[in-house]
Chains A and B, each alone.
Chain A
């Protein structure tokens, strides 16, 4: 094609029509004065906000900076990160199992999966967190053994119980474990829906081709369908991970005392410096979610490209 500086006359038209312009277009662009007005208004508002940040004593920046990096808070950050990673891992595994159950065609498994998703999507995470924190009210001990032993053992004339292993609920479900359970079980329900959508997005021809090659159902799922579902599953899973990081703040209500938000609030209420510690919480969560977002960008670029561009990228990358 011709560059803008060249006159526009192709080989097909040796004699340009008289009056046809060969000049590059230099028109006066449309003006948008309202954009300048909007920018001015926003600039003033921003200036007011920044001014407030520096002049309002409630922020107490020195206090915040001093406590934001104190040992219990930094430990809380690690608890938050570990709870995010663990509950996402458990949630993804649960989600795969539930999604496969839901699409299995087995009516019992389909119903169980549906019921599970219905319950854990229907109850708020905050309520779940508090509920799991108080599960010891329901079961003081958790035992592994044969069910209904208190009924059938006397009936058969046997004494004692059929429990092989017993543990105090408060020991097993310490605050952290209870909270982790609440978050992962809830996440499993959301991941199940995401993975189900991913599995259903894979063309039916893929399964048929694999069947025609003599592959069994389990192998087709593992080797053919799941890997292709990943493209669709990964972007929303990234969002779920970021949402989960924020939801770990709910652990403060289990309560999990070593958790980040609990620690920041504790410092705040102990010192009557509530606001600076809330700002510190915002800054910590913002920092970690920003890191996660960068990670998400790179993972998506690798796995979810429009038309398998990512896979091609992988081959090129692999060649070096």
Chain B
């Protein structure tokens, strides 16, 4: 193992090129165990697609990455930082709200239902976090927002309100909003599942551009074409576990596990 490693504040040794390291991540809601021990690593610049039947825990895992859900067991590091906790002399201490917020500001997230702020204009949505959290001057943030809108193909929608946009446009604004914080990692939680079929393409185009630009992305999706074409790795999850992972084209064309095969035969 000649891999370079970095040592974290907790004394764990992580591969130097890994941006996300999930180590035996468990998550239970009451007595329902949704994640049963996930081990995953996402390298810098990697685009990882996660597929699997509904209820398999893909979205829950994604929400654990930016600590929207607390882990029940295991550890999760992003950028060498243990998410949500500080470990001192073998004990875990919960981080304060503002410390968790600081960790999250490095991680962009795009939701299935867009979750744009309906009381703010498109530009208002995009500059909200940079101005409020990062204290970027308003004019500077606005200029940056207009650039981002250009990039997602909506230069003329700056002053519109979310309810005046189509689903695809809203999702592209949501991507621009996440990018405005200049994140090191982007999480996509079924970004096209709530869209009319003819609007899916415009969102995938934006994501493809983003991947080409070298962004590290974890994408929970049902878009097998996107996973094959853009993904560097594909993870199949079922029943709270990673069943199979590998190069997308290989996993999709010659799955090794029976469960993967059964799932793919239904969706392809």
Contacts and interface: CB of A to CB of B under 8 A. Distances in A.
A215 B119 contact: no
A210 B111 CA distance: 12
B226 interface: no
Interface residues of B, number: 34
Contacts of B159: 315
Contacts of B128: 213, 215, 223
A307 B102 CA distance: 34
B118 A308 contact: yes
Contacts of B108: 212
A291 B111 CA distance: 45
Given A214-B129, A308-B118, A208 B102 contact: no
Contact of B163 (A205, A213, A227, A308): A308
Most chain B C-beta atoms within 10 Å of own C-beta, residue among A212, A227, A311, A315: A212
A217 B100 CA distance: 11
B137 to A, nearest CB: 17
B97 A216 contact: yes
A62 B110 CA distance: 72
Given A208-B111, A223-B128, A308-B163, A214 B118 contact: no
B107 A311 contact: no
B121 to A, nearest CB: 8
B101 interface: yes
Interface residues of A, number: 23
A214 B119 contact: no
A214 B181 contact: yes
Nearest to A319: B159
B105 A214 contact: yes
Contacts of B102: 214
A163 interface: no
B98 interface: yes
B115 A215 contact: no
A50 B174 CA distance: 64
23 contacts: A203-B115, A208-B68, A208-B115, A209-B111, A209-B116, A210-B129, A212-B108, A212-B111, A212-B178, A213-B105, A213-B177, A213-B181, A214-B105, A215-B132, A215-B133, A219-B133, A224-B117, A307-B163, A308-B118, A308-B163, A311-B118, A312-B161, A312-B164
Please name the 3 residue pairs, one residue from A and one from B, whose CB atoms are nearest each other, closest first. A214-B105, A209-B115, A213-B129
Interface of B: 66, 68, 97-98, 101-109, 111, 113, 115-119, 121, 128-129, 132-133, 159, 161, 163-164, 174, 177-178, 181, 187
